[in-house]
Amino acid sequence: MPATTSPAADAHDVLHVVGARENNLRDVSVHLPKRRVTAFTGVSGSGKSSLVFDTIAAESQRQINETYSTFVQGFMPTLARPDVDVLGGLTTAIIVDQERLGADPRSTVGTATDALAMLRILFSRLGKPHIGPARAFSFNVASMSGGGAVTVEKAGRTTKEVRTFSVVGGMCPRCEGRGSVTDFDLTALYDDTKSLREGALTIPGYSMDGWYGRIFLGCGFFDPDKPIAKFTKRELDALLHKESTKIKIDGINVNYEGLIPRIRKSFLSKDREAMQPHIRRFVDRAITFAVCPECHGTRLNEAARSSKIGGISIADAAAMQISDLAEWMHGVRDSSVQPLLDGLRSTLDSFVQIGLGYLSLDRPSGSLSGGEAQRTKMIRHLGSSLTDVTYVFDEPSIGLHPHDIERMNELLLQLRDKGNTVLLVEHKPEMIGIADHVVDLGPGAGVDGGEIVFEGTVEQLRSADTRTGRHLHDKVSLKDAVRPADGALEVRGASLHNLQDVDVDIPLGVLCVVTGVAGSGKSSLIHGSVARRDGVVTVDQTAIRGSRRSNPATYTGMLEPIRKAFAKANGVKPVLFSANSDGACPNCNGAGVIYTDLAMMAGVVTTCDVCEGKRFQPEVLEHTFGGKGISEVLGMQVSEAEAFFANGDGRVPAAHKILRRLVDVGLGYITVGQPLTTLSGGERQRLKLAAQMGEKAEIYVLDEPTVGLHLADVEQLLGLLDRLVDAGKSVIVIEHHQAVMAHADWIIDLGPGAGHDGGRVVFEGTPSDLVAAKSTLTGTHLAAYIG
């Protein structure tokens, strides 16, 4: 009998990557098993994201996009082919990353997951009394009506007809669907003892030297040389409240608008979390947000709130904790809407299954942490019946207490067992432990990384001589002695979100760690009661927004003293040393490269042949400082630049101080002029930390500073926190990492559970007391971690 041969299709069980050179990767070749969990490890900046996201996932998405017609591709983002020789065995990639959900104030957990859209349809069908279609329950649709004559052309004849229309929406007319109304503190907008010409306005960006100044000084609605305190009622109303009016200034048609409507449009159209720090400080100082007195924060008008199912309105349902809402939904029965009920129940059950049952559908999506946002995106994939899909996760352990990580591991294994490939970029040993295959990148970060230093099983990694292998079985020891507090920050009656009238004294002059399971109320306590106080600097998880022209030098403000030093040494203007201003190469406008847009095809990027990628005009490059040109300085590694600006001919104390902080947070390997778009998530977080540390403050609040950090880098972070405390600062850290807990002088543990099962302080004391008591989930996991 002839030997049986297996079908050729069965041979495609491996995903091949040959010769990957994206970002810092050095001709990387790797073969990954399909339908398995593969973990990618290595220090921050070693090339994990470049291999997984920028090479494998990017090429998968690019090839899927090419299956659409060129017409459809014209409306889609164009993706260039990654710099790789061969990619074989690819399957459809679904990316679940750490990007925050929309920061629009109208975006909620319910709108981001479509759960609220399904709930609106349900109430439009079953709600009593019936008030209209699904949009009648939407806080984004305003009710309106109107009518008039319209001209219609039919069969070559023109006739006039009277038409009327009406739209039934659910938006609260008072707060316009935002749930809160704003009140302005006028003393924070201007100094009424001064005139406008003397600089009375204290709003960021409203200088009398700029375009706003020309409009306010030349509008003619008030006397710009008269102190605001002496304005008539009419003049003050024009300054503060006048609606948009066309005027002419210096022969140019412009729009004049009062301060308050202008601030509403420019500042308040964004969620607070998405504002720049100086804008956020102004908004916190000048504007108070009160719950809307008409809709009581529900965002909905009276008609939408009046329609109920079993005594529950849509506002009540959206405000419920999702675990409670899921339970209520299982009691709603009507065969006429059965498919809708099944879909809604499935979505709500997924929330509970993934550990987000403590949220509510009306929670603003901008207020979710990075970890919560990532798990919210996972929800639509949990019930999917698709198989042979590649799921790509970017540190799914972010924001998870050790107790919650066990549940996340189960979900990842479920996805694998359905026949999918799971690629995991991760640092936590608890999550790396579930992998069937591990790829370790390194040996270092940036130019010192980009190579595969290990490939094999988790057990083989434990005995491998790599930085990850050496730290994988790290155990920490508790401090022999903790620092004594030199005061306390009192918090009384904290009740934001799920906090239950919490009273707590946060010790000052020490390293205080606030911990607890996800959803226990840690962020609500610290961001709600501590972060906005005077003298407090907060380094949170919000992403750094930066274009390809932004780099560490511009983001931290380091470039300003460097430009001035170059200008002084050469007797020219500082703007010459800006690639975004007078000194820019005219051919590429200071970008260093030429971008050619090819519509639906991937754009072409070529190095500028005039400046050869140096971004500056030739005459600017001739000017030197300490023997180096501006382009050479931007090409230096941070550690090299820190030594260069420290002393000698290149001494610039202001720049050296910032570079020292960048080295302290472990970013010595990145280059001074490296585009922010090429930095990994962990690198951006640490860049933000280094920038914020420059602000004068007595109390530092850090929200999960270990995000994106390798086990080896955590030690360096702890050294930095110690230096801050030893310099007389108070450091408050919201954290899940056991190494940070063990290093604390004081721990405040919230819980015991999440949502309405949390919101209470379940432990206050030293780490050794927490371990000895083992009375909380945190205490139990910390005791296991220290062995």
Element spanning 746, H or E: strand 746-751
272 or 191: which leads in pLDDT: 191
DSSP 682-705: HHHHHHHHHHHTTS--SEEEEE-T
Confidence of residue 2 (pLDDT cuts 50, 70, 90): low
Indicate the DSSP class of residue 589: T
C-alpha span between 444 and 395 (Å, rounded): 19
Residue 409 CB contacts under 8 Å (≥ 6 apart), including other chains = 430, 431, 434
Q: Which pLDDT score, from 0 to 100, does residue 580 have?
A: 85
At residue 435 the predicted structure's pLDDT band, cuts being 50, 70 and 90, is: very high
Longest dimension (CA), the chain: 108
Q: What is the pLDDT of residue 548?
A: 78
3-state secondary structure of 730: strand
Q: Considering only residues 694 and 57, tell me which one the structure prediction assigns the higher pLDDT.
A: 57
Q: Quick: pLDDT tens for 642-692.
A: 999 998 889 999 999 999 999 988 888 899 999 888 887 778 878 888 888
Q: Select from 89, 100, 61, 707 the least CA-distant residue to 392.
A: 61
Answer whether residue 81 shows pLDDT above 50.
yes
Q: Please give the residue that has the higher pLDDT: either 490 or 208.
A: 490
Rounded to 10 degrees, what is the CA torsion of 662, 668, 673, 675? -90
Residue predicted with more confidence, 688 or 490: 490
Among 162-171, 273-282, 746-755, the least confident range: 273-282
pLDDT one-digit tens code per residue, 760-783: 999 999 999 999 998 999 999 999
Q: What pLDDT does residue 298 have? A: 95
Place 133 in a pLDDT band, splitting at 50, 70 and 90. very high
Predicted pLDDT at 215: 86
Higher pLDDT, 544 or 509: 509
Can you give the pLDDT at residue 156? 82
User: Mean pLDDT across the stretch 313-328?
Assistant: 96
Q: What is the pLDDT of residue 86?
A: 94
Query: Bigger pLDDT: 453 or 282?
Result: 453
Residue whose tokens read 């409507």: 261
Q: Give the best-scoring range by mean pLDDT among 24-28, 213-217, 246-250, 363-367.
A: 24-28
CA distances from 414 to 31, 252, 385, 410, 766 (A): 23, 64, 12, 6, 38
- pLDDT tens-digit map of 4-44: 566 887 778 999 999 999 989 999 999 999 999 999 999 88
pLDDT at residue 559 is higher than 90: yes
- Model pTM? 0.80
With a CB cutoff of 8 Å and minimum separation 6, the contacts of 417 are none
Look up residue 391 and give its two tokens.
Answer: 């799921």
In tens, the pLDDT along 325-363 reads 999 999 999 999 999 999 999 999 999 988 899 999 999
The pLDDT value given to residue 480: 83
Percent of the chain with pLDDT over 70: 96
What is the per-residue pLDDT for 271?
Answer: 62
Between these two residues, 696 and 241, which has the higher pLDDT value? 241
Give yes or no for residue 283 having a pLDDT over 90.
Answer: no
Average pLDDT over residues 431-435: 95
Instruction: Answer whether 488's CB lies under 8 Å from 505's CB.
Output: yes
Number of other CB atoms surrounding residue 130 within 10 Å = 12
Three-state secondary structure readout of 352-412: HHCCCCCCCCCCEHHHCCHHHHHHHHHHHHHCCCCCCCEEEEECCCCCCCHHHHHHHHHHH
735 closest CA partner among 434, 476, 515: 515
Burial level of 234, CB count in 10 A (0-12/13-18/19+)?
exposed
- Extract the tokens encoding 39: 């973990």
Confidence label for 150 from pLDDT (cuts 50, 70 and 90)? confident
pLDDT tens digits, 450-486: 999 999 999 999 999 999 999 888 778 898 899 999 9
Cα 423–Cα 427–Cα 428 angle in degrees, nearest 5: 105
Q: Looking at residues 747-765, what average pLDDT do you find?
A: 93
Cα dihedral sign for 762, 767, 773, 779? positive
pLDDT at 1: 47
The single-letter code of the amino acid at 634 is L
Interatomic CA distance for residues 309 and 5, integer angstroms? 61
Does residue 273 carry a pLDDT above 60? no
Q: Which residue has the higher pLDDT, 94 or 218?
A: 94
**What mean pLDDT is predicted for residues 723-729?**
92
Which of 671, 675, 666 shows the shortest CA–CA distance to 636?
A: 671
Which ranges of 579-629 would DSSP assign to H, the alpha helix? Answer: 618-622
Provide the pLDDT for residue 543. 67
**Any idea which residue has 């003619």 for tokens?**
220
Band (180; pLDDT cuts 50, 70, 90)? confident
Q: Chain-wide mean pLDDT for the chain?
A: 89
At 654, is the secondary structure helix, strand, or coil? helix
Q: What are the φ/ψ torsions at residue 488 (nearest 5 degrees)?
A: -150, 145
547 bridge partner residues: none
